[in-house]
Structure 1
């Protein structure tokens, strides 16, 4: 069997996605997600101009060799554009491997380590009362874990709070919008939100919160300590992760579990955090970390250090990526949680899939491969539309992490 074609498909059924479809001479196909929110066309060009020509004629069964060929052979390694492209190839090859074997991909990864994949939803509101209503809605839907985000009094807009509660999409304009941030207002408000949530829903519902890289280590330590009475499952991305040593300061001052890593591209981005047990959950995902092959390496390394998975799963990752993540989630021994933001009906139609949600768990398809595809005719009805993530500034106008 040989690869005879590989198509890069860009579509926008409500938001932009980049998909690679690999075709073999025996008619077996595989799909991989290459979406990079706000920089989709950079990955599309990287695939089309630099990767697809390298695939033609290769044996699709040689997944590891192809991964090393695209990684080591590129010299200018890593980074989100390169690794998203590598991920698309790797994921598509695993899809083909499963179809040839007649098995769902998780069986090729060692089989089930659990019956279902615990996922969390996003409850958000401008006011605490709205937040409570949203948490109740997710509980009624069967979720066992909920991420809680609240508007901050005095700020016009806050990350994670949206008008469309089920299909939140932060990339909202052809050029970046600007929002205003106040750390002091946020730190004063957030503990009270969780006090109300715990009072309303009791001690067993798993609660999470995303800081979105906005604090310094000592500010994050203060927040973590103030949230300890409410027993969060994790505090996500408390500080920018480029300076990994900053997490040591957080660890010294709070026992609130820490999760980070959705912007990581390789195991080397996370080695200090994992080796020194500075985090509890590593959140990188299939499309950002070079595919199933390399993400498995990250999770295996994490397992040696009592760190669990918590893969990113926002709507900027297509159903192809989510399906791939579910197969890996089901197989690894150190699974923690899987983020699950539901896609729109239009997106689900473009990406027909067999995974499903039931009683707080997601279950991958039992069909051979990943159990997801792309309807190219449907995809063609939704042309690319430029969309950027916002830019964040402090009240005095200083640019600040978003």
Structure 2
């Protein structure tokens, strides 16, 4: 079975997505997600100009060989654009293989290791009362794990906090997700102001209030989004220990993997790292030396199912679990792939889950289902995704940027 053609679909039903459609010579179609938030057209061009011409005539079943061909053959390895493009090809080929086999994809990955994948939603608010409203909404919808983010006194806006009450309260049934996520459709990136000391003073009081109001049963998570130095990260992790977090995410830029030693030495709060990582090499020391507890790379940004499975097999040797990135900047194609893989992985931990807008769901037609605090893929062959290309064409690409973060003195800072 040979690849007859490959097409790149760029659509924006509320936000921008890049989808690769691969068609075989006997008419089987597979889809892969190549969305890279704020740099979507870079991946689309990489696919269209460099990858698609290489695919025609290749054996659609030769997934490993194709992965190695695209990774090693280009010479310029890794990086988010390259790995997102490879992920799109890899996921589409797995979709095809499962359809030919007549099985849902997770069955080809070893079968189900659990009934469904535990997920966490995003609760946020500019203040404690608004945050409580958002948490209650998520609990009513069935979430058993919730990420907690709030505004910081004295700061106008903070990443992870919805820009409106509607988006903040919205959970699984909300469609106001473009405002909830940081990308903005504008000529230039928005600029936010950051104050680390104010943040470190405020966050422990937030978790104290949440535990006091909602008790000990909810799994609570928090994202520091790379904004702390190692000693600041250690201080935060230690201050949050009384509130029994499921994890503390991206406490410091982890390109310097040695920095996590300092954090690990000072706190027992579990650490999740890696949504900006895109290969097993980014995790080599972090996993081997057990400096983290959860791997955050999504299928979409880390080379596809083939590559993320390799990362997780390595992580399993050290009792490190998965915690794949999965907000609405990963399309339903990428989320479906993550759920199939997560269902099969023995060392699955948790899956991030934000519900896409109604328009996005109409374009992609996902068949995964949320119930009992978790996601389960559909039972039809393949990923369980049905892209409506005519509808997708009605939503043209719109330029959008992630924000820039600055300290009070104007210095550009991590966010």
TM-score (norm 2): 0.96
Determine helix, strand or coil for the equivalent of 1:199. helix
Q: Indicate conservation of the 8 Å contact 1:79/1:265, yes or no.
A: yes
5+ residue gaps, structure 1: none
CA distance in structure 1 between the partners assigned to 2:50 and 2:387 by the alignment? 22
Q: Deviations over 1:251-289 (max 9, x none)?
A: 010000000110111000001100010000011010111
Determine helix, strand or coil for the equivalent of 2:232. helix
Identify the residue that residue 169 of structure 1 maps to in structure 2.
181
Identify the residue that residue 211 of structure 1 maps to in structure 2.
224
Runs of 4+ in 1 over 6 A off after TM superposition: none
Greater mean deviation of Cα atoms: 16-25 or 158-167: 158-167
Matched, 1:302 2:315: yes
1:257-272 matches, within 5 Å, as: 257-272=270-285
Identify the residue that residue 277 of structure 1 maps to in structure 2.
290
CA distance in structure 2 between the partners assigned to 1:241 and 1:252 by the alignment? 16
Q: Indicate conservation of the 8 Å contact 1:173/1:389, yes or no.
A: no
- Alpha-carbon shift at residue 173 of structure 1 (Å): 3.2
5+ residue gaps, structure 2: 171-176
1:361 to 374, 377, 383: 374
Q: Deviations over 1:156-212 (max 9, x none)?
A: 001111122342221013210100000010000000000010011111110000000
Give the count of matched residue pairs: 402
Q: Indicate conservation of the 8 Å contact 1:208/1:235, yes or no.
A: yes
Q: Indicate conservation of the 8 Å contact 1:119/1:361, yes or no.
A: yes
CA distance in structure 1 between the partners assigned to 2:336 and 2:128 by the alignment? 33
Determine helix, strand or coil for the equivalent of 2:240. helix
Identify the residue that residue 220 of structure 1 maps to in structure 2.
233
Identify the residue that residue 133 of structure 1 maps to in structure 2.
133
Q: Indicate conservation of the 8 Å contact 1:320/1:373, yes or no.
A: no
Identify the residue that residue 374 of structure 1 maps to in structure 2.
387
Matched, 1:93 2:105: no
Q: Indicate conservation of the 8 Å contact 1:284/1:311, yes or no.
A: yes
CA distance in structure 2 between the partners assigned to 1:56 and 1:173 by the alignment? 35
1:375-390 matches, within 5 Å, as: 375-390=388-403
TM-score (norm 1): 0.99
CA distance in structure 2 between the partners assigned to 1:342 and 1:62 by the alignment? 33
Greater mean deviation of Cα atoms: 319-328 or 196-205: 196-205
CA distance in structure 1 between the partners assigned to 2:148 and 2:17 by the alignment? 26
